Amino acid sequence: MSLCVLCPGQGSQSLNMFDRLRNDPLAEPALQAAWEHLPGAVRLGVSESTCYQTNAVAQPALVLYAGVVGELLRQQGVVPALVSGYSVGELSAQVVAGKLSTGHGIELAALRAQRMDDASPVDHGLMAIKGMRTAVVETLLPKLGEFPVAIYNDEQHCVVGGGKAALASLGNTLQQQHGAHVVHLCVKVPSHTHWLKQASVDFARDLQKVTWLTGDSLVLSGLAGRVCSAPQDSIDCLARQLSEALYWGLALDMAVEQGATVFFETGPGNTLSRMVRERFPDLPCRSLSDFKTVQGALNWLLKQGVS
Protein backbone atom coordinates (compact mmCIF):
# COMPACT_ATOMS: atom_id res chain seq x y z
CA MET A 1 0.00 0.00 0.00
CA SER A 2 1.26 3.48 -0.88
CA LEU A 3 1.26 5.97 2.01
CA CYS A 4 0.62 9.71 1.76
CA VAL A 5 1.39 11.71 4.91
CA LEU A 6 -0.52 14.97 5.43
CA CYS A 7 0.75 17.92 7.49
CA PRO A 8 -1.83 20.41 8.80
CA GLY A 9 -1.76 24.19 8.74
CA GLN A 10 -2.70 26.63 11.46
CA GLY A 11 -5.87 26.00 13.40
CA SER A 12 -5.05 22.73 15.18
CA GLN A 13 -2.29 24.15 17.39
CA SER A 14 -2.89 24.89 21.06
CA LEU A 15 -1.16 25.54 24.37
CA ASN A 16 -1.11 21.82 25.23
CA MET A 17 -0.39 20.51 21.73
CA PHE A 18 2.89 18.88 22.76
CA ASP A 19 1.45 16.97 25.72
CA ARG A 20 0.69 13.95 23.54
CA LEU A 21 4.31 13.70 22.39
CA ARG A 22 5.87 14.65 25.72
CA ASN A 23 3.96 11.96 27.59
CA ASP A 24 4.58 9.20 25.04
CA PRO A 25 7.61 6.94 25.61
CA LEU A 26 8.20 6.54 21.87
CA ALA A 27 7.89 10.24 21.04
CA GLU A 28 9.59 11.88 24.03
CA PRO A 29 13.23 11.32 22.87
CA ALA A 30 12.52 12.66 19.37
CA LEU A 31 10.70 15.66 20.82
CA GLN A 32 13.57 16.51 23.16
CA ALA A 33 16.09 16.23 20.32
CA ALA A 34 14.19 18.80 18.26
CA TRP A 35 13.03 21.08 21.09
CA GLU A 36 16.11 23.34 21.21
CA HIS A 37 15.47 24.46 17.63
CA LEU A 38 12.26 26.23 18.63
CA PRO A 39 12.22 30.02 19.08
CA GLY A 40 12.65 31.01 22.71
CA ALA A 41 9.02 32.01 23.33
CA VAL A 42 7.82 28.51 22.49
CA ARG A 43 10.80 26.57 23.86
CA LEU A 44 10.68 28.24 27.27
CA GLY A 45 6.95 27.72 27.59
CA VAL A 46 4.26 30.09 26.39
CA SER A 47 1.68 30.41 29.14
CA GLU A 48 -1.04 32.28 27.24
CA SER A 49 -3.19 30.25 24.86
CA THR A 50 -3.71 33.30 22.65
CA CYS A 51 0.00 33.26 21.82
CA TYR A 52 -0.58 30.07 19.87
CA GLN A 53 -2.80 32.02 17.49
CA THR A 54 0.17 34.16 16.39
CA ASN A 55 2.25 33.20 13.38
CA ALA A 56 5.49 33.53 15.33
CA VAL A 57 4.49 30.76 17.75
CA ALA A 58 2.11 28.59 15.71
CA GLN A 59 4.18 28.05 12.59
CA PRO A 60 7.44 26.85 14.20
CA ALA A 61 5.44 24.72 16.65
CA LEU A 62 3.53 22.96 13.86
CA VAL A 63 6.68 22.26 11.85
CA LEU A 64 8.39 20.79 14.91
CA TYR A 65 5.36 18.60 15.65
CA ALA A 66 5.31 17.19 12.12
CA GLY A 67 9.09 16.79 12.14
CA VAL A 68 8.94 14.67 15.28
CA VAL A 69 6.19 12.46 13.83
CA GLY A 70 8.20 12.11 10.61
CA GLU A 71 11.24 11.02 12.62
CA LEU A 72 9.16 8.42 14.46
CA LEU A 73 7.96 7.02 11.14
CA ARG A 74 11.55 6.77 9.86
CA GLN A 75 12.66 5.00 13.05
CA GLN A 76 10.01 2.35 12.42
CA GLY A 77 10.99 1.95 8.77
CA VAL A 78 7.84 3.65 7.46
CA VAL A 79 8.79 5.79 4.45
CA PRO A 80 5.83 7.59 2.84
CA ALA A 81 5.70 7.60 -0.92
CA LEU A 82 4.09 11.05 -0.85
CA VAL A 83 3.88 13.96 1.59
CA SER A 84 1.67 17.02 1.27
CA GLY A 85 0.88 19.92 3.58
CA TYR A 86 -1.77 22.57 4.03
CA SER A 87 -0.40 26.14 4.12
CA VAL A 88 2.53 26.13 6.59
CA GLY A 89 2.08 22.36 6.52
CA GLU A 90 3.82 22.42 3.15
CA LEU A 91 6.99 23.42 4.97
CA SER A 92 6.35 20.58 7.42
CA ALA A 93 5.96 18.26 4.43
CA GLN A 94 9.47 19.09 3.25
CA VAL A 95 10.78 18.05 6.68
CA VAL A 96 8.76 14.82 6.81
CA ALA A 97 9.92 13.97 3.28
CA GLY A 98 13.55 14.35 4.40
CA LYS A 99 14.28 17.30 2.12
CA LEU A 100 14.91 19.65 5.06
CA SER A 101 16.26 18.91 8.51
CA THR A 102 13.85 19.56 11.36
CA GLY A 103 16.08 22.37 12.60
CA HIS A 104 16.14 24.12 9.24
CA GLY A 105 12.39 23.63 8.87
CA ILE A 106 11.73 25.31 12.21
CA GLU A 107 14.08 28.19 11.39
CA LEU A 108 12.31 28.69 8.07
CA ALA A 109 8.92 28.59 9.79
CA ALA A 110 9.99 31.45 12.05
CA LEU A 111 11.20 33.43 9.01
CA ARG A 112 7.99 32.61 7.13
CA ALA A 113 5.93 33.93 10.02
CA GLN A 114 7.95 37.13 10.17
CA ARG A 115 7.76 37.73 6.41
CA MET A 116 3.99 37.27 6.49
CA ASP A 117 3.50 39.56 9.48
CA ASP A 118 5.69 42.25 7.91
CA ALA A 119 3.83 42.19 4.58
CA SER A 120 0.29 41.91 5.89
CA PRO A 121 -2.05 44.91 5.91
CA VAL A 122 -3.55 45.69 9.31
CA ASP A 123 -6.90 44.26 10.39
CA HIS A 124 -7.06 41.62 7.67
CA GLY A 125 -7.68 37.90 7.92
CA LEU A 126 -9.41 34.85 6.45
CA MET A 127 -12.92 33.42 6.47
CA ALA A 128 -14.06 29.93 5.48
CA ILE A 129 -17.28 29.55 3.48
CA LYS A 130 -19.03 26.17 3.50
CA GLY A 131 -22.30 24.78 2.22
CA MET A 132 -22.33 26.96 -0.87
CA ARG A 133 -20.82 26.13 -4.24
CA THR A 134 -17.47 27.83 -4.62
CA ALA A 135 -18.23 28.66 -8.25
CA VAL A 136 -21.28 30.62 -7.08
CA VAL A 137 -19.28 32.33 -4.34
CA GLU A 138 -16.75 33.47 -6.92
CA THR A 139 -19.42 35.13 -9.02
CA LEU A 140 -20.74 37.04 -6.01
CA LEU A 141 -17.48 38.22 -4.45
CA PRO A 142 -16.54 40.95 -6.96
CA LYS A 143 -19.92 42.61 -6.38
CA LEU A 144 -19.44 42.66 -2.61
CA GLY A 145 -15.88 43.92 -2.23
CA GLU A 146 -12.26 42.80 -2.45
CA PHE A 147 -12.31 39.18 -1.29
CA PRO A 148 -9.78 37.02 -3.15
CA VAL A 149 -10.18 33.28 -2.74
CA ALA A 150 -7.20 32.03 -0.74
CA ILE A 151 -7.91 28.28 -0.59
CA TYR A 152 -10.09 25.97 -2.67
CA ASN A 153 -10.85 22.96 -0.47
CA ASP A 154 -13.69 21.39 -2.44
CA GLU A 155 -16.76 22.30 -4.45
CA GLN A 156 -18.56 23.69 -1.40
CA HIS A 157 -15.72 24.82 0.84
CA CYS A 158 -13.38 27.71 0.18
CA VAL A 159 -11.47 30.31 2.20
CA VAL A 160 -11.40 34.01 1.30
CA GLY A 161 -9.27 36.90 2.50
CA GLY A 162 -10.13 40.51 3.26
CA GLY A 163 -10.37 43.24 5.84
CA LYS A 164 -11.90 41.88 9.04
CA ALA A 165 -14.79 44.33 9.13
CA ALA A 166 -15.53 43.64 5.47
CA LEU A 167 -15.35 39.88 6.06
CA ALA A 168 -17.87 40.20 8.90
CA SER A 169 -20.27 41.98 6.57
CA LEU A 170 -19.67 39.45 3.80
CA GLY A 171 -20.30 36.59 6.20
CA ASN A 172 -23.62 38.05 7.30
CA THR A 173 -24.70 38.50 3.67
CA LEU A 174 -23.79 34.95 2.68
CA GLN A 175 -25.50 33.49 5.72
CA GLN A 176 -28.70 35.49 5.46
CA GLN A 177 -29.16 35.54 1.70
CA HIS A 178 -27.56 32.23 0.63
CA GLY A 179 -27.65 29.97 3.69
CA ALA A 180 -23.89 29.58 3.80
CA HIS A 181 -21.98 28.53 6.90
CA VAL A 182 -19.05 30.86 7.58
CA VAL A 183 -16.15 30.55 10.02
CA HIS A 184 -13.82 33.44 10.81
CA LEU A 185 -10.38 31.87 11.10
CA CYS A 186 -8.02 32.69 13.97
CA VAL A 187 -5.33 34.23 11.78
CA LYS A 188 -4.24 37.84 11.50
CA VAL A 189 -2.95 37.82 7.93
CA PRO A 190 -4.70 37.25 4.57
CA SER A 191 -2.53 34.26 3.66
CA HIS A 192 -2.41 33.02 0.06
CA THR A 193 -3.63 36.31 -1.37
CA HIS A 194 -2.01 39.12 -3.36
CA TRP A 195 -1.55 41.20 -0.22
CA LEU A 196 1.41 39.00 0.72
CA LYS A 197 3.31 39.36 -2.55
CA GLN A 198 6.27 40.97 -0.81
CA ALA A 199 6.38 38.09 1.66
CA SER A 200 6.76 35.69 -1.27
CA VAL A 201 9.68 37.69 -2.63
CA ASP A 202 11.44 37.89 0.73
CA PHE A 203 10.81 34.25 1.68
CA ALA A 204 12.17 33.04 -1.66
CA ARG A 205 15.50 34.65 -0.75
CA ASP A 206 15.42 32.93 2.65
CA LEU A 207 14.78 29.56 1.04
CA GLN A 208 17.71 29.94 -1.35
CA LYS A 209 20.12 30.05 1.60
CA VAL A 210 19.13 26.68 3.04
CA THR A 211 20.85 23.33 2.53
CA TRP A 212 18.39 21.04 0.76
CA LEU A 213 18.59 17.27 1.13
CA THR A 214 17.67 14.51 -1.31
CA GLY A 215 14.85 13.03 0.75
CA ASP A 216 13.05 9.73 0.32
CA SER A 217 9.51 10.92 -0.42
CA LEU A 218 7.79 12.96 -3.11
CA VAL A 219 6.29 16.29 -2.00
CA LEU A 220 3.03 17.51 -3.52
CA SER A 221 2.45 21.26 -3.26
CA GLY A 222 -0.87 22.85 -2.41
CA LEU A 223 -0.46 24.82 -5.62
CA ALA A 224 -2.77 22.45 -7.52
CA GLY A 225 -0.75 19.39 -6.51
CA ARG A 226 2.45 20.43 -8.22
CA VAL A 227 5.21 17.87 -7.73
CA CYS A 228 8.33 19.23 -5.99
CA SER A 229 11.05 16.90 -7.27
CA ALA A 230 14.00 19.34 -7.11
CA PRO A 231 15.07 21.99 -4.59
CA GLN A 232 14.13 24.84 -6.93
CA ASP A 233 10.62 23.38 -7.27
CA SER A 234 10.28 23.39 -3.50
CA ILE A 235 11.62 26.93 -3.20
CA ASP A 236 9.27 28.19 -5.88
CA CYS A 237 6.18 26.54 -4.39
CA LEU A 238 6.92 27.46 -0.78
CA ALA A 239 7.46 31.09 -1.72
CA ARG A 240 4.57 31.46 -4.16
CA GLN A 241 2.00 29.84 -1.88
CA LEU A 242 2.24 32.76 0.53
CA SER A 243 0.55 35.04 -2.01
CA GLU A 244 -1.21 32.64 -4.40
CA ALA A 245 -4.32 30.54 -3.87
CA LEU A 246 -4.04 26.95 -2.72
CA TYR A 247 -6.01 24.20 -4.44
CA TRP A 248 -6.08 21.64 -1.67
CA GLY A 249 -8.75 19.45 -3.24
CA LEU A 250 -6.65 19.14 -6.40
CA ALA A 251 -3.60 18.29 -4.32
CA LEU A 252 -5.51 15.39 -2.75
CA ASP A 253 -6.68 14.27 -6.19
CA MET A 254 -3.08 14.35 -7.40
CA ALA A 255 -1.99 12.22 -4.44
CA VAL A 256 -4.48 9.53 -5.43
CA GLU A 257 -3.44 9.79 -9.08
CA GLN A 258 0.16 9.32 -7.96
CA GLY A 259 -0.86 6.08 -6.27
CA ALA A 260 -1.73 6.99 -2.67
CA THR A 261 -3.91 4.27 -1.14
CA VAL A 262 -3.49 5.16 2.57
CA PHE A 263 -3.47 8.61 4.18
CA PHE A 264 -2.04 9.53 7.58
CA GLU A 265 -2.14 12.99 9.17
CA THR A 266 0.66 14.00 11.53
CA GLY A 267 -1.63 16.02 13.81
CA PRO A 268 -2.05 17.68 16.25
CA GLY A 269 -5.60 17.78 14.80
CA ASN A 270 -7.53 15.72 12.26
CA THR A 271 -8.94 18.35 9.88
CA LEU A 272 -7.08 17.06 6.82
CA SER A 273 -7.92 13.43 7.44
CA ARG A 274 -11.60 14.36 7.67
CA MET A 275 -11.30 16.13 4.31
CA VAL A 276 -9.79 12.99 2.79
CA ARG A 277 -12.57 10.78 4.14
CA GLU A 278 -15.18 13.12 2.67
CA ARG A 279 -13.45 13.10 -0.71
CA PHE A 280 -12.33 9.44 -0.79
CA PRO A 281 -14.55 7.49 1.64
CA ASP A 282 -13.19 4.12 0.51
CA LEU A 283 -9.56 4.88 1.34
CA PRO A 284 -8.13 4.23 4.83
CA CYS A 285 -7.23 7.51 6.50
CA ARG A 286 -6.40 8.37 10.11
CA SER A 287 -4.61 11.04 12.10
CA LEU A 288 -2.18 10.58 14.96
CA SER A 289 -4.72 12.47 17.07
CA ASP A 290 -7.18 9.58 16.58
CA PHE A 291 -4.99 7.27 18.69
CA LYS A 292 -4.16 7.18 22.39
CA THR A 293 -0.49 6.38 21.73
CA VAL A 294 2.05 6.76 18.96
CA GLN A 295 2.49 3.00 18.99
CA GLY A 296 -1.23 2.60 18.30
CA ALA A 297 -0.91 4.80 15.22
CA LEU A 298 2.17 2.90 14.04
CA ASN A 299 0.37 -0.41 14.52
CA TRP A 300 -2.51 0.86 12.38
CA LEU A 301 -0.10 1.93 9.62
CA LEU A 302 1.65 -1.42 9.65
CA LYS A 303 -1.72 -3.19 9.41
CA GLN A 304 -2.36 -1.23 6.22
CA GLY A 305 0.76 -2.80 4.74
CA VAL A 306 2.74 0.41 4.37
CA SER A 307 6.52 0.36 4.78
Residues 135 and 276 in one domain: no
- The CATH number of whichever domain residue 149 belongs to comes to 3.30.70.250
Residues 145 and 282 in one domain: no
Distance CA 79, CA 94 (A): 13
Residues 111 and 43 in one domain: yes
Residue where a domain terminates, one of 153, 184, 215: 184
Provide the sign of the torsion angle of the four alpha carbons 111, 62, 105, 33, taken in this order: positive
Q: Alpha carbon 90 to chain centroid distance?
A: 6
Question: How far, CA to CA in Å, does 214 sit from each of 101, 229, 234?
Answer: 11, 9, 12
Residues 197 and 253 in one domain: yes
Q: Over its length of 307 residues, how does the chain's per-residue pLDDT go in tens digits?
A: 799 999 999 988 877 888 889 989 999 999 998 888 887 766 655 556 667 778 988 999 999 999 999 999 999 999 999 999 999 999 999 999 999 999 999 999 999 999 999 999 999 999 999 999 999 999 999 999 999 999 999 999 999 999 999 999 999 999 999 999 999 998 889 999 999 999 999 999 999 999 999 998 999 999 988 999 899 999 999 999 999 999 999 999 999 999 999 999 999 999 999 999 999 999 999 999 999 999 999 999 999 998 6
Residues 265 and 284 in one domain: yes
- Domain range for 159 is 124-184
| CA neighbor of 240 nearest in space, from 185, 186, 198, 190 | 198
- The CATH number of whichever domain residue 278 belongs to comes to 3.40.366.10
Residues 78 and 65 in one domain: yes
Query: Which pLDDT score, from 0 to 100, does residue 50 have?
Result: 67
Query: Which pLDDT score, from 0 to 100, does residue 209 have?
Result: 95
**What is the value of pTM for the model shown?**
0.95
Query: Which pLDDT score, from 0 to 100, does residue 43 have?
Result: 62
Distance CA 254, CA 122 (A): 36
- b (16+ CB within 10 A) / e for 81-95: bbbbbbbbbbbbbbb
Provide the sign of the torsion angle of the four alpha carbons 301, 303, 306, 307, taken in this order: positive
Q: Are 166 and 148 in contact (CB under 8 A)?
A: no
Residues 253 and 176 in one domain: no
Q: Are 13 and 52 in contact (CB under 8 A)?
A: yes
Residues 92 and 161 in one domain: no
Residues 79 and 137 in one domain: no
Q: Are 220 and 188 in contact (CB under 8 A)?
A: no
Residues 60 and 151 in one domain: no
Return left, alpha or beta for 285; rule: phi > 0 is left, psi -120 to 50 is alpha, else beta. Answer: beta
Residue where a domain terminates, one of 184, 212, 228: 184
Residues 78 and 151 in one domain: no
Residue where a domain terminates, one of 184, 204, 221: 184
Q: Alpha carbon 54 to chain centroid distance?
A: 15
Residues 214 and 272 in one domain: yes
Total domains in the chain come to 2
